[in-house]
């Protein structure tokens, strides 16, 4: 029997497996340190489409199709699709993965969306409501800039605390362990995050706004499972960047946990900040999703990392609430992914 | 763990790296000054060709705006602003950039709802409050002139 643990966690006695995964990224990501690990690199930021939004939709759909192909699966074998992106009304999803004609749950968790999608996927499969589901999230530098900041051609000086939205998408097929043709890794537990608001107001310093959410979810996970950082080979956040990482490590230290050796941030891995001028690191739904598929999951498959806690973070910010003087609430979802013998 | 919001704000300020002020100032001075020097050179050249001063200034403005539009299209102007900050934003070239950038970005949303509605998203506030402040100054000027105080 699967069971509820603590206040916000679930432990799966028959853990769902990640049967297949794929990543599609843009040119800049392809030139980054993880460049050779991605399944597909789109050299053209427009992907041959007329608008940035169509390009992001295309990439998201490509990631789904690739994940199916790599798992030798047909889309008819997928019962549910859990998908999301950063855009208003989830247009990258509606016109992207939504086109696959798989029953769809559209999700918004800002940059934590892939965590939310994996949590719900694992719950759905473990609960016996589906044999196989697909989780996907995407972001695009140009669509995000357009929606949240300035038109691309507008000159401005980005502060060092700002992050660079990743152009990319990651897709994961989550399956029942007995029905899966193969298994890359298993999802053994999840911890659902709560909206956390520390009063941060600087939209150019999202790391500082999101770190308290990562702290909250990781601390909750430790409490619920009566465990600590020693149980994990890596604790991986999505896009805290350098400032966020400093905050997270400081907060954890207050609680007596030293995360400096086990913590890794996808946003800090995906770009080389010196040569690529990305400041604090990468961000966006596509950052955590594509890095999980291309880099993290491979380490878990080979067994180099036996057990990881994947905690993508999202800043729940809108241009409306921001202009109305509101703070930036944030959220983080924890997914425990383990190596399969 | 309870965190005081004000303390957190101060703490974040402490750990967040910032641009070097002196480097920014130097770049702003060089690029901003450079743009103005080029403009002066243009005015002088136009005048040496026999143009009146007013006409030379008008042509220079057009030259600056035209160059900024081209440089924005070629994605060079944003790089200039990145280095020089206000040094490249304050001159008229920055204003041109702030109108061309949205026009380029939003043209896919149509001539009316895209370019038409959104071309002023950045420049709009500058124009609005520019006009309001000239209006306030105009009234002030009128009142002062009633007492024969002028400038």
Q: To which residue do tokens 């308290």 refer?
A: A212
Structure confidence by residue, pLDDT tens digits, A74-111: 999 999 999 999 999 999 999 999 999 999 999 999 99
Considering only CB atoms, A151 lies closest to which of B1, B94, B104, namely B104
A297 — pLDDT class (breaks 50, 70, 90)? very high
Does residue B1 surpass a pLDDT of 70? no
Residue of B1, B5, B10, B12 best to disrupt the A interface, most CBs of A under 10 A = B12
- pLDDT-derived band at B3 (thresholds 50, 70, 90) equals confident
Q: What is the mean pLDDT of residues B33-43?
A: 97
Q: Which of A83, A78, A128, A131 is nearest to A104 (CA)?
A: A83
pLDDT for res A135: 98
Cβ <8 Å between B15 and A158: no
Which strand (E) or helix (H) includes residue B67?
A: helix B53-73
Q: What per-residue string of b and e applies to A197-230 under the rule 16 or more CB within 10 Å gives b?
A: bbebebeebbbbbbbbbbbbbbbbbbbbbeebbe
Give me the sign of the Cα torsion angle B22, B27, B28, B30: positive
Looking at the DSSP bridge assignments, the partners of residue A168 are: A25, A139
A157 contacts B19? CB cut-off 8 A: yes
Work out whether strand A132-139 and strand A80-84 pair parallel, antiparallel, or are unpaired: parallel
Has residue A2 got a pLDDT over 70? no
Give all domains of chain A, ordered by start, each with its CATH number.
3-7+16-175 (3.40.47.40), 187-339 (3.40.47.40)
**E strand map for A217-275:** 234-237, 263-265
Return the pLDDT at A1. 52
User: So where are chain B's domains?
Assistant: 21-119
Tell me the Cα Rg of chain B.
Answer: 21
DSSP letter at A112?
Answer: T
CA of A156 vs chain B CAs: smallest distance (Å): 6
Q: What is the CA radius of gyration of chain A?
A: 18
Residue B4 pLDDT greater than 90, yes or no: no
- Which tokens sit at A92? 């990258």
Which residue, among A180, A73, A61, has the nearest Cα to A126 in the 3D structure?
A180
* Proportion of chain A in helix, strand, coil states, percent, rounded to 5: 40, 25, 40
Tell me: pLDDT of B143 over 70: yes
* Helix, strand or coil, per DSSP, at residue A135: strand
CA A264 to chain centre: 13
Q: How many residues does chain B have?
A: 151
Question: What value, to the nearest 5°, has the Cα angle with vertex A290 and ends A243 and A295?
Answer: 85
**pLDDT tens-digit profile of A175-187?**
999 999 999 999 9
Per-residue confidence band for B150, with pLDDT thresholds at 50, 70 and 90 = low
Which chain B residue shows the shortest CA-CA distance from A254? B1
Question: Mind listing the pLDDT tens digit for each residue in B79-133?
Answer: 999 999 999 999 999 999 999 999 999 999 999 999 999 999 999 999 999 999 9
CB atoms within 10 A of CB A268: 26
Tokens matching residue B1: 């763990």
**Residues 6 or more apart whose Cβ sits within 8 Å of residue A154:** B78, B97, B98, B101, B102, B122
Write out pLDDT tens, residues A65-81. Answer: 999 999 999 999 999 99
Per-residue pLDDT tens over the stretch A128-177: 999 999 999 999 999 999 999 999 999 999 999 999 999 999 999 999 99
Contact check, Cβ <8 Å, A205/B81? no
Q: Which residues in A have their CB inside 8 Å of a CB on B? A: 50-51, 146, 150-161, 198-200, 202, 205, 208, 212, 215, 219, 242-243, 246-247, 251, 254-255
Q: Torsion angle of alpha carbons B96, B97, B100, B101, nearest 10°? A: -160
Q: Is the minimum CB–CB distance between B122 and chain A shorter than 8 Å? A: yes
pLDDT at B8: 94
Residue B148: band (very low, low, confident or very high) from pLDDT cuts 50, 70, 90 = confident
């Amino acid at each position: 029997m699967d069971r509820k643990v603590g206040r916000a966690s679930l432990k799966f006695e028959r853990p769902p497996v990640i049967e297949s995964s794929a990543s599609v990224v843009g040119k800049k990501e392809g030139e980054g340190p993880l460049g050779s690990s991605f399944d597909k690199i789109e050299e053209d930021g427009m992907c041959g489409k007329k608008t940035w939004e169509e390009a992001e939709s295309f990439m998201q759909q490509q990631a789904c199709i690739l994940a199916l192909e790599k798992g030798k699966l047909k889309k008819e074998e997928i019962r549910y699709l859990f998908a999301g992106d950063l855009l208003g009304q989830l247009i990258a999803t509606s016109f992207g993965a939504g086109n696959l004609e798989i029953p769809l749950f559209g999700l918004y968790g800002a940059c934590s969306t892939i965590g939310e999608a994996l949590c719900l996927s694992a719950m759905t499969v473990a609960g016996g409501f589906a044999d196989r589901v697909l989780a996907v999230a995407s972001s695009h530098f140009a669509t995000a800039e357009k929606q949240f900041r300035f038109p691309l051609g507008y000159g401005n000086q980005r502060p060092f605390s700002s992050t660079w939205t990743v152009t990319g998408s990651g897709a994961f097929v989550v399956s029942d362990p007995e029905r899966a043709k193969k298994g890359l890794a298993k999802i053994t537990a999840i911890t659902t995050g709560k909206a956390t608001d520390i009063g941060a107001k600087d939209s150019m310093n999202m790391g500082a706004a999101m770190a308290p959410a990562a702290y909250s979810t990781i601390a909750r996970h430790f409490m619920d499972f009566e465990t600590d950082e020693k149980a994990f080979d890596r604790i991986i956040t999505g896009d805290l960047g350098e400032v966020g990482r400093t905050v997270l490590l400081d907060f954890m230290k207050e609680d007596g946990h030293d995360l400096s050796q086990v913590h890794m941030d996808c946003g800090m891995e995906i770009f080389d900040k010196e040569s690529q001028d990305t400041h604090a690191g990468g961000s966006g739904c596509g950052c955590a999703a594509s890095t999980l598929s291309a880099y993290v999951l491979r380490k878990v498959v080979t067994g180099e990392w036996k057990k990881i806690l994947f905690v993508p973070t999202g800043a729940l910010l809108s241009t409306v609430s921001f202009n109305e003087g509101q703070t930036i609430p944030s959220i983080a979802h924890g997914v425990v992914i383990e190596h399969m013998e | 763990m309870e965190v005081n919001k004000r303390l957190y704000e101060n703490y974040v300020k402490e750990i967040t790296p910032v641009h070097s002020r002196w480097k920014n100032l130097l770049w702003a001075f060089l690029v901003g000054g450079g743009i103005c020097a080029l403009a002066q050179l243009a005015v002088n050249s136009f005048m040496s060709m026999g143009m009146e001063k007013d006409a030379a200034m008008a042509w220079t403005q057009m030259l600056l705006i035209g160059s900024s539009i081209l440089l924005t299209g070629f994605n060079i102007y944003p790089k200039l602003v990145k280095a020089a900050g206000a040094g490249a934003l304050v001159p008229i070239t920055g204003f041109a950039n702030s109108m061309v950038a949205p026009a380029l970005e939003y043209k896919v949303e149509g001539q009316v709802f895209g370019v038409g509605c959104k071309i002023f998203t950045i420049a709009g506030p500058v124009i609005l409050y520019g006009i309001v402040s000239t209006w306030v100054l105009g009234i002030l000027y009128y009142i002062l002139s009633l007492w024969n105080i002028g400038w």
